[in-house]
A and B are shown apart, each in its own frame.
Chain A
């Protein structure tokens, strides 16, 4: 732990501090109701009788797998296919066409979904590429899907979704084209799963060495961080993105007031930004 624990700390304050230190996520005091709901299942899985006992052990023991699963349990993983739609339309109509021109010589495209959750976002990107840009089969395409949560990464790798999940946001044409049924679940076909490189990245820890990225999806995750963390992460984004590269944020997120080197791309209400190129600086 980096900061010293105050002498008297309520269970919820302890949890807030743990989650903030390990994921940068800021839990609001009004979210204390989440404590039982989210940690009950973690305690149960670990064979610990009560949430109170779980918290006692977390306080006593060194940071380890139990702490990790508690931090993961406090994250919000909500996501769905083609969430907000406009970003994926911008990807199709503006972003990829521009990159096809700019990178025509190298024939390389690299995309990073930096808070992939259960995978609906990277698979929506993969479907957009497959569906509308057949020429990319001649390119070296990298699609990195990362998240903090091991449980979510496992879901991305499995590519397996419930009926409720495929019912939401996913065009029926894409469902029948890119998924197969396995019992009551729907599984993404290997032609899409094979496009993804899945690994764990905590955004507040060091990042892997990606190739220079053309597009980053960093959607609905900054919203959980404090201003300093947002600034730090956006600052680091500038170094991994190619000048002129694109950054997608969530509908309620913006770079404005945090990082001046991104310029909003005008496409419907898509939260899409372009890193200023060297010539624009």
Chain B
């Protein structure tokens, strides 16, 4: 399984990459939505973890761009963000996010949400 971690904080990217790496994912990182879209042109991604607030292209715009592209319909998208309002959450899910994790989170929170999306350790060689 291949994952893309999108966050403008390098420290946060490291934390998320480590968790995914421990679960058996190979991981690439991007600092904003634009960079992430560029990466996705050249590599097939199974899962993206997406921060909301980022320069250049924010996570919500990235969500919309991915969901507008039929060939990316199978990519699973999880928001990981400090936006904790019901409105934001509703908006993200309506735009095609599969899950939503609020910052701050623990490793087990994130793992439990990945489990809900069908990603488990056993299933990720």
Contact = CB atoms under 8 A, between A and B. Distances in A.
Interface stretch (A21-29, A31-39, A164-172, A256-264): A164-172
Contact of B106 (A164, A171, A176, A180): A164
B89 A172 contact: yes
Contacts of B61: none
A175 B115 CA distance: 16
Contacts of A176: 86, 89-90, 93
A172 B99 contact: yes
B75 interface: no
B93 A168 contact: no
A85 B116 contact: yes
Contacts of B97: 172
Size bracket of the A interface:
10 to 19
A78 to B, nearest CB: 11
Interface in A75-103: 80, 82, 85
Contacts of B46: none
Contacts of B89: 172, 175-176
Nearest to B85: A181
Nearest to B92: A172
A168 B86 CA distance: 16
A163 interface: yes
A189 to B, nearest CB: 12
Query: Which interface residue of A167, A171, A175 has the most chain B CB atoms within 10 A?
Result: A167
Contacts of B102: 163, 166-167
Interface in A141-191: 163-164, 166-169, 171-173, 175-176, 180-181
A163 B84 contact: yes
Contacts of A171: 99, 116
A80 B109 CA distance: 10
B116 A169 contact: yes
Contacts of A180: 86
A183 to B, nearest CB: 12
B112 A168 contact: yes
Contacts of A167: 101-102, 105-106, 109, 113
Given A175-B89, A181-B86, A168 B116 contact: no
Interface string A106-127: 0000000000000000000000
Given A168-B108, A169-B113, A172-B97, 20 more contacts: A163-B84, A163-B102, A164-B105, A164-B106, A164-B109, A166-B102, A167-B101, A167-B105, A167-B106, A168-B106, A169-B112, A169-B116, A171-B116, A172-B93, A172-B99, A175-B100, A176-B86, A176-B90, A180-B86, A181-B86
19 contacts: A80-B112, A82-B116, A85-B115, A163-B84, A164-B104, A167-B102, A167-B109, A167-B113, A168-B109, A169-B112, A169-B113, A171-B116, A172-B100, A173-B93, A176-B86, A176-B93, A180-B86, A181-B85, A181-B86
Interface of B: 84-86, 89-90, 93, 97, 99-102, 104-106, 108-109, 112-113, 115-116
